[in-house]
């Protein structure tokens, strides 16, 4: 039997071409993903470990213990005395501290770089970082940039770079080098600049050293020097060897590659699932067509078990050979991904390609076992072939032509009912990320329902679309009849395409709905054209505003600290005298404060003819007198919109009440801060100026523009009289105003304030839309692999069907059907299968895409991207035509007399 099986494989190699391709593609994706992710992870680790092991020990300030009920304390930086003590240790050859703060970097257009200022650091001779290109700064007018910062700004070595000092004055530096800070989270988010120690102290005012890097004395190992440093600094420090420090960083960033690996493997699993369907269909048809051959084996003495093992051996050989080819192709794909996709992800792949045993074994095992498992049912069916079947003269395959019984119909409808019930459950529970798991389960159940009811669906859809097709011509009429001749086979062939169509359509619906929801949110809650906000600095406190402006006389407007830490604007006279608000303590150092927007910006904008409305957001916080209000927080955010007509200029979805009812003495709460209170109840806020009693006018839904407590401008001034400037400005252009002139007016107003960030709502929409489009096409490209495998499956089905119907095709030719008509018949048949599979997939994708979006998006605005769906339908038609090319050519090229004589 083994010789017979192997001989059959050699003799009928063409039967397995598409099966081999399906397995190869699925295994290639799995193995390639693992090679790519392993190489990426190794590069991360090499980058991190390479910098950390440049020194023997690294000391960082110890994190204070968290005390429940108190605000988390910050780690205390090292001082000069601690650094000198480390340097004096006999185990230490050299040690340097890293100063770290934040300073504003300007781009080529003079605007502040980034949502927050990059880190400003100084690096000594003993440092875990070194210049990747050029050299580190040696003079006070030199600077080095993180490679990520240079990439985003376009600066190159030799360029002039501008920064703002503590007085917001511009300082120019010459760029001498680039430093790769790797994946260190302290520098990877906002970027970094490297300056001399003197300059960092001047412009960033660090509190001390954020890190001490140590090089061990000759003959001292890293563990010994790390222990000595730890004993010297005591509980104030956490000390690790360079290797330990690097391993900890590498472990942290390894999670990133694991997430990437899992995401890519999910697409690989989808591809393998589709491939399994194709393999099952292939073997089912092969066994059905080889009934006479198998029956002849039974006649000459083969037992059922031998026939069963023969089919499984056949599938094992095909699976093993295909998997080997898939692993080899996957290694190539992984190498290409590391070479080209790594830089696109902002990662320089420095490590050699990693080909781990997991990538090889998983591909071989998965591909082989999946093939054998997919052949189990056809193998069992082969054992039921009666020996007398060898005496039949017809070559028509049997075993796949059975109809759809009542049990199958009832079971299929029950599955769809369960799926619908799960979706209804997610709608009743409201938006919840856990709902995605329920939707996923509902989709899987629905897929099983499609498999069960597939033959019935195929028969019904073909009969429906067949009415107009029968009137087009003889080829179309014959194609319709052939499509329903074996609905089980057709259903099995198109289910693979249904899976891909569902996933692509579902994601496109989620993407379009997310974009529509964002657009609605921006249009209704922020009906503005531009928004101005200060650059965020995490080192500053959310207390007040320090504004520095130079008047014509050279006077400055600024702020000074009060006993409460809150103050109003003060003016410096020509003599430099400071006039402040009451309670100013001249001897105390002013508190650091969160930047707000200078009043002059608003005044300039209000004078512009292209601007119709300017209103600003001012925020602070207050304690809540009522127990239980404000959720787990002890304080509540308090905001007001200065100059806005509430309910018109600013809107939000309300749980109860109306936003337009906001007036002095009343407050609008977001639902999460309502704490069970409702409209008409009284809320008491404890402010620096005393208690403020407010009647609740409305409750707004969460995830809206209103957060915490929103009060009238009059009540906000009573509670926080020192807050005289806006945190955010919103600008709406005049009707009919030229967009270019409006943009020029907005940017002109902030010319003297480079740290102010200008956001265009239209640009925000476009950026988000582009981001979603990139994500969609990336995922669509990955899922396209499943579509390609599905097309191979349909082509395989058509090819085997043509083999089965060789005599029938010859008889049609003998009766006058031309070669072109025969090719057209088979093409229409394939297109019908593709359209049915795509149509069912699109319908499921729209339903489950809507359910998935509604499960996570409050106030979701449903959108079905008709353009993308139309493109996918067109691709399905093209896929059907491609799937029929080779089978149709073979059928049309078969000799009429030879085919008739062979039967």
Q: Please give the full DSSP string across 368-397, using - where no structure is assigned.
A: HHHHHHHTHHHHHHHHT--GGGGG------
Tokens encoding 491:
């259903």
d(CA 193, CA 123) in angstroms, rounded, equals 10
What's residue 30's pLDDT?
Answer: 79
For the stretch 738-764, pLDDT in tens is: 888 888 899 889 888 888 888 887 666
Partners of 308 in beta bridges: none
Tokens encoding 226:
């790390």
Tokens encoding 890:
């073979």
What's residue 18's pLDDT?
Answer: 66
Give the confidence band of 375 by pLDDT, cuts at 50, 70, 90: confident
Of 598, 565, 602, 596, give the one whose Cα is nearest residue 581.
565
Tokens encoding 432:
């919840």
For the stretch 10-34, pLDDT in tens is: 666 666 676 787 788 778 877 887 7
Tokens encoding 825:
């018949």
- Position with higher pLDDT, 43 vs 626: 43
Give the confidence band of 495 by pLDDT, cuts at 50, 70, 90: confident
- Residue 725 class from Cβ within 10 Å (0-12 exposed, 13-18 middle, 19+ buried)? buried
Q: Which range among 30-34, 318-322, 562-566, 818-822 shows the weakest confidence by mean pLDDT? A: 562-566
pLDDT of 404 higher than 50? yes
Mean pLDDT for 866-894 is 82
Q: Which range among 292-301, 414-423, 630-639 shows the weakest confidence by mean pLDDT? A: 630-639
Phi, psi of 517 (to 5 degrees): -65, -45
Give the confidence band of 696 by pLDDT, cuts at 50, 70, 90: very high
pLDDT of 590 higher than 50? no
Q: Which range among 67-81, 571-585, 686-700 shows the weakest confidence by mean pLDDT? A: 571-585
d(CA 389, CA 392) in angstroms, rounded, equals 5
Percent helix, strand, coil in the chain, to 5, is: 55, 15, 30
* Domain ranges, ordered by start, for the chain: 1-54+242-400, 57-66+74-220, 454-527+761-903, 538-760
For the stretch 505-552, pLDDT in tens is: 888 888 888 888 877 776 765 678 888 888 876 655 433 333 333 333
Of 153, 13, 823, give the one whose Cα is nearest residue 476.
823
Mean pLDDT for 288-316 is 77
pLDDT of 565 higher than 80? no
Average pLDDT of the chain, as a whole number = 78
> Is residue 341 within 8 Å of residue 39, measured between CB atoms?
no
For the stretch 111-139, pLDDT in tens is: 888 878 899 999 988 888 888 889 999 99
What's residue 416's pLDDT?
Answer: 92
The per-residue b/e assignment along 378-399, b for 16 or more CB within 10 angstroms, e otherwise, is: bbebbbebeeebbeeeebebeb
Highest mean pLDDT among 302-306, 532-536, 552-556, 884-888: 532-536
Indicate the angle between helix axes 599-606 and 739-749, nearest 10 degrees: 150
This prediction's pTM: 0.62
Which residue do the tokens 């008509």 mark?
Answer: 821
pLDDT of 53 higher than 80? no
d(CA 438, CA 435) in angstroms, rounded, equals 5
pLDDT of 314 higher than 90? no
What's residue 447's pLDDT?
Answer: 83
Sheet holding 549-550, edge to edge: 549-550, 556-558, 570-572, 578-579
State percent of the chain over pLDDT 70: 76
pLDDT of 573 higher than 50? no
Q: Which range among 122-131, 174-183, 386-395, 520-529 shows the weakest confidence by mean pLDDT? A: 386-395
Q: Which range among 181-195, 399-413, 674-688 shows the weakest confidence by mean pLDDT? A: 399-413
For the stretch 657-674, pLDDT in tens is: 999 999 999 999 998 888
For the stretch 433-491, pLDDT in tens is: 778 788 888 888 888 888 888 888 888 888 888 888 888 888 888 888 887 777 777 77
Mean pLDDT for 278-292 is 68
For the stretch 226-267, pLDDT in tens is: 999 999 999 889 999 988 887 777 666 555 556 656 666 666
């Amino acid at each position: 039997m083994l010789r017979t099986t192997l001989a059959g494989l050699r003799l009928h190699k063409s039967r397995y071409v598409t099966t081999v391709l399906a397995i190869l593609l699925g295994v290639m994706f799995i193995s390639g993903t693992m090679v790519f992710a392993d190489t990426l992870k190794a590069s991360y680790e090499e980058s991190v470990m390479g910098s950390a092991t440049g020194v023997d020990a690294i000391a960082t300030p110890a994190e204070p213990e968290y005390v429940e009920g108190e605000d988390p304390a910050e780690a205390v930086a090292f001082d000069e005395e601690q650094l000198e003590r480390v340097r004096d240790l006999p185990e230490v050859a050299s040690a340097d501290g890293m100063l770290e703060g934040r300073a504003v970097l300007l781009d080529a257009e003079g605007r502040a770089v980034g949502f927050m200022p990059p880190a400003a650091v100084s690096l000594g001779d003993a440092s875990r970082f070194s210049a990747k290109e050029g050299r580190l700064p040696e003079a006070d007018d030199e600077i080095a940039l993180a490679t990520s910062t240079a990439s985003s700004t376009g600066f190159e070595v030799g360029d002039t770079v501008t920064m703002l000092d503590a007085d917001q004055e511009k300082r120019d530096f010459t760029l001498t080098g680039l430093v790769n800070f790797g994946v260190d989270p302290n520098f990877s988010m906002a970027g970094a600049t490297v300056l001399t120690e003197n300059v960092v102290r001047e412009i960033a005012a660090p509190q001390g050293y954020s890190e001490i890097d140590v090089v061990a004395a000759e003959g001292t190992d890293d563990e010994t020097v790390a222990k000595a440093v730890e004993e010297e600094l005591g509980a104030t420090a956490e000390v690790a060897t360079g290797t330990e420090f690097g391993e900890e960083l590498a472990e942290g960033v390894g999670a990133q590659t694991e997430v990437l690996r899992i995401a890519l493997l999910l697409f690989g699993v989808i591809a393998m699932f589709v491939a399994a369907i194709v393999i099952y269909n292939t073997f089912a048809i092969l066994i059905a067509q080889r009934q006479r051959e198998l029956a002849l084996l039974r006649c000459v003495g083969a037992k059922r078990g031998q026939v069963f093992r023969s089919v499984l051996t056949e599938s094992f050989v095909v699976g093993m050979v295909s998997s080997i080819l898939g692993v080899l192709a996957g290694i190539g794909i992984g190498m290409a991904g590391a070479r080209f996709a790594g830089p696109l992800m902002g990662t320089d792949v420095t490590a050699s390609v990693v080909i781990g045993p997991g990538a090889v074994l998983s591909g071989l095992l998965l591909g082989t076992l999946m093939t054998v498992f997919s052949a189990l049912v056809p193998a069992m069916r082969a054992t039921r072939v009666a020996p007398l079947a060898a005496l039949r003269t017809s070559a028509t395959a049997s075993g796949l032509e059975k109809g759809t019984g009542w049990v199958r119909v009832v079971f299929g409808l029950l599955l769809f009912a369960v799926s619908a019930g799960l979706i209804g459950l997610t709608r009743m529970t409201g938006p919840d990320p856990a709902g995605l798991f329920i939707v996923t389960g509902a989709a899987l159940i629905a897929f099983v329902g499609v498999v069960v009811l597939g033959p019935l669906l195929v028969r019904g859809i073909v009969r429906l679309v067949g009415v107009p097709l029968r009137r087009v011509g003889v080829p179309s009429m014959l194609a319709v009849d052939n499509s329903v001749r074996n609905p089980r086979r057709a259903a099995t062939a198109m289910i693979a395409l249904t899976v891909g169509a569902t996933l692509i359509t579902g994601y496109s619906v989620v993407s379009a709905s997310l974009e529509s929801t964002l657009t609605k949110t921006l249009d209704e809650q922020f009906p503005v054209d531009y928004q101005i906000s200060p650059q965020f600095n995490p080192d500053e406190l959310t207390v007040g505003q320090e504004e520095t402006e130079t008047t014509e006389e050279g006077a400055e407007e600024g702020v000074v600290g009060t006993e409460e830490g809150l103050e109003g604007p003060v003016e410096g006279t020509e003599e430099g005298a400071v006039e402040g608000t009451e309670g100013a303590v001249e001897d105390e150092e002013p508190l650091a404060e969160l930047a707000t927007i200078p009043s002059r910006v608003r005044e300039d904008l209000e004078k512009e003819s292209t601007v119709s409305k300017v209103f600003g957001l001012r925020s602070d916080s207050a304690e809540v007198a009522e127990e239980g209000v404000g959720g787990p927080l002890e304080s509540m955010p308090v905001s007001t919109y200065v100059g806005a007509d509430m309910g018109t200029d600013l809107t939000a979805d309300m749980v109860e009440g109306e936003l337009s009812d906001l007036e002095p003495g009343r407050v609008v709460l977001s639902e999460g801060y309502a704490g069970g209170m409702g409209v008409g109840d009284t809320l008491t806020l404890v402010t620096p100026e005393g208690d403020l009693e407010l009647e609740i006018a409305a409750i707004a839904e969460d995830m809206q523009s209103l957060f915490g407590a929103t009060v009238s401008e009059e009540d906000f001034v009573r509670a926080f009289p020192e807050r005289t400037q806006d945190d955010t400005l919103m600008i709406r252009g005049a009707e009919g105003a030229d967009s270019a002139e409006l943009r020029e007016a907005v940017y002109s107003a902030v010319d003297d304030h480079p740290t102010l960030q200008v956001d265009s709502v239209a640009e925000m929409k476009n950026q988000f839309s582009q981001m979603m489009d990139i994500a969609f096409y990336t995922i669509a490209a990955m899922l396209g692999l499943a579509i390609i495998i599905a097309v191979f499956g349909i082509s395989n089905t058509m090819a085997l069907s043509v083999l089965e119907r060789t005599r029938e095709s010859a008889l049609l030719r003998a009766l006058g059907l031309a070669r072109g008509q025969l090719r057209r018949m088979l093409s229409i048949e394939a297109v019908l299968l593709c359209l049915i599979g795509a149509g069912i997939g699109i319908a499921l994708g729209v339903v489950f895409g809507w359910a998935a979006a509604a499960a996570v998006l409050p106030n979701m605005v449903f959108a079905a991207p008709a353009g993308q769906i139309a493109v996918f339908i067109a691709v399905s038609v093209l896929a059907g035509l491609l799937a029929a090319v080779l089978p149709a050519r073979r059928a049309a090229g078969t000799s009429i007399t030879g085919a008739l004589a062979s039967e």
